[in-house]
Structure 1
Amino acid sequence: MKTNTLDFDAQALRERILDLAMRGKLVPQDPNNEPASTLLKSCDLKSANEQPHVIPRSWEWIVLGSAVKFINGRAYKKAELLEDKSLTPVLRVGNLFTNSSWYYSDLQLDPDKYIDNGDLIYAWSASFGPRIWDGGHVIYHYHIWKLVLDQVVDKNYLYYFLLDKRNVIGETDLHGSTMKHITKTNMEHLSFPLPPLIEQQRIAAKIAQLFALLRKVESSTQQYAELQTLLKTKVLDLAMRGKLVKQDPNDEPASVLLEKIKAEKTELVKEKKIKKSKPLPPITDEEKPFDIPDSWEWVRLGDILKPEIHQKPQQNFLYIDIASVDNTINKITNPTKVNVSNDKIASRARQLLDSDDILFSVVRPYLKNIAMVPNTSDYKIGSTGFYVLKPFSLIDRKYIFYLVLSNYVIQNMTKKMKGDNSPSIRKGDLQNLVVPLPPRVEQKHIVDKIISLYKLI
């Protein structure tokens, strides 16, 4: 998964680093190092029959369990887990990954049921993964192994081997239906690439160095992505307040534009191209949230939009639903081609779309699933989960697109959400929203300025 908008996939890079490391391609081999074959002969190590990939000549494939002992923790009964913080903490799998609540124990156990800072452990049930423990003296639960290493294996090198789940967990290694886990037998029988001990240490140090660099890049990239979002938000905020471009006193004011829209609406009703709609209530001074230029007007969004067109598709169509919208770039990226004679037609596929219509998801508006319909010749149908904004011809559609992306609109709609599972707004919430309308020519200037600033950002 991409970590941010700069197309930087840190996880893929980590996996690549680990893969190179376990193939002997991350650091150079030193011919002066004692080869792993010597370790194999001098210690009670078992060669592995399965060799998943090619390794350097100075390395050996061994059976992991011949060099590492996997010790289970204590299997606790519920009554034995206490909440007295003066007792010894009990480390459970959940504490390693998601659960911040701890239990404690007053039992006196054998030394191998405790772990201390520096111990290598592995969670083998529900969630998988190794950890070099740094949380002090604790009892560890049965679903965690403590790893006791032969002197020929470097702890940090083994940690990185186990960190790459591709080395450890295959489909055939997962057992259990309610709680999946990897068995100790499978772990002990893993083929393990064993380099010379000094090279193991060099590999582990190199991985640590590269991972630290990746963390810095991730942090900086995330900060940059947040700054991008903040700057874009500020641009839209200034645009909607008339502070992004200068007003031209020669522009026809928005009041005249509204009269022309009113005339267009009357003509379309007369030609029976749209139905006559119920008038929206007049705007009160209390509803106007901020000052706008004198040449602008406050309007209800529904007053500058034509009605949606609902119909059941009778021919092959391009279907656009919420999943079709990439809300990181606010574009349609994944529409579905539907053949009406063969494919099942979704019950929500009922909105006739025109090119450059603006789609606004009524579910969780804060997610900004907003996009313009692609300008193609396809017969296009949208989901009823969208409010389809169809501005009158005298309105710049991109201005409306950026308007509904602004924090002013998103925050107002987020406040209107209702419902627990899929909190949504009513289409009437958007229709009744009071929005700023610039003169027609200035709308175009605002859109051009937004686009140019976005490119710079």
Structure 2
Amino acid sequence: MDTKALRQKILDLAIRGKLVPQDPNDEPASVLLERIRAEKQQMVKDGKLKAKDIKNDTVIFKGDDNLHYEQFQDGTVKCIEDEIPFELPDGWAWARLGVICPYGENKAVSADLIDETAWILDLEDIEKETGVIKKYTTKSERNSVSNKYSFCKGQLLYSKLRPYLNKVVIATKDGYCTTEILPLTFYGNIYSPYMQLFIMSPTFLTYVNMISYGVKMPRLGTNDGKNAIIAIPPINEQKRIRDKFDIVAPLFDKIQNNLNNLNNEVTAIKSKILDLAIRGKLVPQDPNDEPASVLLERIREEKEELIKQGKIKRDKMESVIFKGDDNSYYEKIGDSVACIDAELPFEIPDNWCWARLNCISINYDSYRKPINSYDRKNRVLGKSKDELYPYYGATGQIGFIDDFLFNGEYILLGEDAAPFLDKKAQKAYMIKGKSWVNNHAHILQSLVFPEYLTNCLNSIDYFDYVYGTTRLKLTQENMNRILVPVPSIEEQCKIAQAINNLFVLIESIKASLS
């Protein structure tokens, strides 16, 4: 279940008058807007507003032809049917945002005039898409020196910077905010909590995303903000809508928490399945299978042949791990033999063997050929859409000279340590066909069943293999030392198939529950 989409759907129903029933006894929104116009004209007479402040006010109405029109101060009328996003219920009305509030007309306050204990609200303090204030910080804590807008408890605070983040909150107390946030006060007692719902709705988001200016840091311009069309319900219905939404909204958090718990449970189950698999406890052993020792001997012969053909280089750290008469495990590298019992993480079945990763795979890290930015870009763009290669790497960007093209079946294992410190994170990925690979990924060709080795690399504990001072990494040398439990090739295939079947079953159960 997509709780974000569900929230947006509820917001959409709210601003279309479909969340609560209409009450024919409510005062129509048209009367409310007429009262606002009278209020603003009186404010001009009282000197609280200037004539220029209301010269652009308009009235939106529905004509006898069932189309929407806008009347301007000079009496001219224009059809605006193409601006109307949806039909309103009876008793509702459309109005420009600049008509119902002095949008963007805030005065900045110098930082040296703000008390050190005053609340300073910044964009980072607001949770996107939820209307929640994550934290409260004082001026002294923030060490703020820039000008701010002042706001009062109950005002609507709208972030005009990167409006797609949907950061819109109601002030819980008086304070000051960055000038990227606009405090909004509405005429005629229009209910700010309802306006929060409208401004966070898909309708308003679609409008602002279409007209925001700026590439890296898009903003909603003041005039564009004033011109936004707002659906105005009767005052009493505004409150009923908000009350209903506040009843429904906590359910989103409960649903999301349940989904998070479900995802955590699924991840834990998958991790347990992988752990059982590499210990030989997922599928039954078959005494008729070829012993793993025979498989490893054949792999050594295959690698020796590749060395003779000049296709790979000899690995001086190639080893053979065997079980001695004393039931301990030993590793032979060249003429040197050492007991490695202390390194082994768990017991394996009798017909399995331990092997270092470099003994059951070929590392292609040193076989990469750099591609310059120009060639990389043109080789990609020169392909049709269906022929574009998938991209695997840390940067995810086209044009870097540390990208390499591989064609075949490989296992990628990242070098950056973050995923390795999370036992449940995926570390290894299989790729097939032509792929761009960034140099932050180790590239391995498996000499055992690839799906089995990938599952192994996603389940083992990397604690003893990841090192570094400024940044933890899985170096090539340490990666080669990784110990892998190796069953017969027949059992590897059975294990891989069993894991796949169980994962598919788990995902189907998860989908049915969510």
TM value normalised by structure 2: 0.67
The aligned residue for residue 60 of structure 1 is 93
Helix, strand or coil: the match of 2:59? Answer: coil
Helix, strand or coil: the match of 1:353? Answer: strand
Provide the rounded CA distance (Å) in 2 between the counterparts of 1:64 and 1:95.
25
Among 360, 370, 378, the alignment partner of 2:428 is: 370
Change beyond 3 A, Cα 1:418–1:386: farther
CA contact (8 A) 1:154 1:197 kept: yes
Provide the rounded CA distance (Å) in 1 between the counterparts of 2:500 and 2:232.
55
Q: Report deviation, 1:100.
A: 5.5
Q: Report deviation, 1:41.
A: 3.5
Residue 411 (structure 2) pairs with residue 358 (structure 1): yes
Among 414, 428, 438, the alignment partner of 2:477 is: 428
Q: Report deviation, 1:160.
A: 0.5
Q: How does 1:36-55 map to 2 (within 5 A)?
A: 36-44=29-37, 46-48=58-60, 49=70, 51-55=83-87
* Percent of matched pairs sharing the same residue: 28
Provide the rounded CA distance (Å) in 2 between the counterparts of 1:61 and 1:44.
14
Q: Report deviation, 1:323.
A: 5.0
Q: Report deviation, 1:272.
A: 4.3
Q: How does 1:58-97 map to 2 (within 5 A)?
A: 58-69=91-102, 72=106, 75-77=109-111, 79-80=112-113, 87-96=117-126
Superimposed CA distance per residue, residues 318-370 of structure 1 (whole angstroms, 9 cap, x where no aligned partner)? 64432599xxxxxxxx9x9xxxxxxx986345454323x22223244616463
CA contact (8 A) 1:74 1:139 kept: no
Q: How many residues matched?
A: 410
CA contact (8 A) 1:88 1:139 kept: yes
Change beyond 3 A, Cα 1:121–1:307: closer
Change beyond 3 A, Cα 1:266–1:245: same
Superimposed CA distance per residue, residues 279-301 of structure 1 (whole angstroms, 9 cap, x where no aligned partner)? 33536222222222232222111
Among 12, 16, 29, the alignment partner of 2:9 is: 16
CA contact (8 A) 2:394 2:440 kept: no
Amino acid at match of 1:54: F
Provide the rounded CA distance (Å) in 1 between the counterparts of 2:499 and 2:394.
24
Helix, strand or coil: the match of 2:185? Answer: strand
CA contact (8 A) 2:20 2:240 kept: yes
Change beyond 3 A, Cα 1:296–1:192: same
CA contact (8 A) 2:356 2:484 kept: yes
Q: How does 1:244-263 map to 2 (within 5 A)?
A: 244-263=282-301
Amino acid at match of 1:153: I
Provide the rounded CA distance (Å) in 2 between the counterparts of 1:113 and 1:275.
70
Which of 231-240 and 210-219 deviates more? 210-219
Q: Report deviation, 1:306.
A: 2.9
CA contact (8 A) 1:302 1:431 kept: yes
CA contact (8 A) 2:412 2:441 kept: yes
CA contact (8 A) 2:212 2:221 kept: yes
TM value normalised by structure 1: 0.74
Which of 315-324 and 37-46 deviates more? 315-324
Provide the rounded CA distance (Å) in 1 between the counterparts of 2:273 and 2:255.
27
Which of 431-440 and 227-236 deviates more? 431-440
Q: Report deviation, 1:225.
A: 0.9
Provide the rounded CA distance (Å) in 2 between the counterparts of 1:188 and 1:262.
74
Helix, strand or coil: the match of 1:44? Answer: helix
Amino acid at match of 1:359: L
Provide the rounded CA distance (Å) in 1 between the counterparts of 2:125 and 2:312.
60
Superimposed CA distance per residue, residues 85-104 of structure 1 (whole angstroms, 9 cap, x where no aligned partner)? xx444445544457764226
Change beyond 3 A, Cα 1:184–1:232: same
Helix, strand or coil: the match of 1:55? Answer: coil
Provide the rounded CA distance (Å) in 2 between the counterparts of 1:221 and 1:354.
37
Q: How does 1:176-191 map to 2 (within 5 A)?
A: 182=220, 186-191=224-229
The aligned residue for residue 329 of structure 1 is none
Superimposed CA distance per residue, residues 208-263 of structure 1 (whole angstroms, 9 cap, x where no aligned partner)? 34433322221111111111111111111222222323334443332232222222
Helix, strand or coil: the match of 2:37? Answer: coil
Provide the rounded CA distance (Å) in 2 between the counterparts of 1:368 and 1:257.
27
Amino acid at match of 1:298: W
Unaligned runs of 5+ in 2: 39-57, 61-69, 71-79, 128-133, 142-148, 320-330, 332-337, 420-424, 507-514
Q: How does 1:2-401 map to 2 (within 5 A)?
A: 8-44=1-37, 46-48=58-60, 49=70, 51-56=83-88, 57-69=90-102, 72=106, 75-77=109-111, 79-80=112-113, 87-96=117-126, 101-103=137-139, 115-116=152-153, 118-124=154-160, 129-134=167-172, 137-141=173-177, 143=179, 144-151=181-188, 153-164=190-201, 166=205, 169-170=208-209, 172=211, 174=213, 182=220, 186-280=224-318, 282=331, 284-308=340-364, 310=368, 319-322=389-392, 347-350=401-404, 352-355=406-409, 357-364=410-417, 366=419, 368=426, 370-374=428-432, 382-392=437-447, 395-401=448-454
CA contact (8 A) 1:91 1:138 kept: no
Superimposed CA distance per residue, residues 98-129 of structure 1 (whole angstroms, 9 cap, x where no aligned partner)? 77642269xxxxxx95633x443334457763
CA contact (8 A) 2:120 2:137 kept: no
Provide the rounded CA distance (Å) in 2 between the counterparts of 1:268 and 1:408.
31
Which of 436-445 and 25-34 deviates more? 25-34
CA contact (8 A) 1:39 1:152 kept: no
Residue 460 (structure 2) pairs with residue 404 (structure 1): no
Provide the rounded CA distance (Å) in 1 between the counterparts of 2:216 and 2:237.
41
The aligned residue for residue 452 of structure 1 is 501
Q: Report deviation, 1:273.
A: 4.4
Provide the rounded CA distance (Å) in 1 between the counterparts of 2:300 and 2:86.
75
Amino acid at match of 2:235: L
CA contact (8 A) 2:393 2:441 kept: no
Provide the rounded CA distance (Å) in 2 between the counterparts of 1:69 and 1:381.
53
Change beyond 3 A, Cα 1:251–1:443: same
The aligned residue for residue 44 of structure 2 is none
